[in-house]
Amino acid sequence: MLIQNLAQFGVLADTVEVIIAVAFMLLGIWLTYRIQKWADRSGDAPAAANQALGGSADRYEAKGMRE
């Protein structure tokens, strides 16, 4: 059964649309998280502030949310 138009679902059209929208939102959040984790692993060396070479009063920066 190939559906060309979501309105063919009738009364369930809104429910199906909301379920699909929520699924895509969750998939987008998960995909963004995975890409950010990959970027953190394969990125450059830590910033100078994390190596105690910066001009800041703090020798080390606080760890981020993902660490």
For residue 42, the Cα-to-chain-centroid distance in whole angstroms is: 17
CA dihedral 51, 35, 33, 15 (to 10 degrees): 170
Model confidence, pTM: 0.51
Burial of 54 from C-beta contacts in 10 A (0-12 / 13-18 / 19+): middle
* Domains of the chain by residue range: 11-37
Strands (E), 1-67: none
Residue pLDDT, tens place only, 15-66: 888 899 999 999 999 999 999 888 877 766 555 555 555 555 655 566 666 6
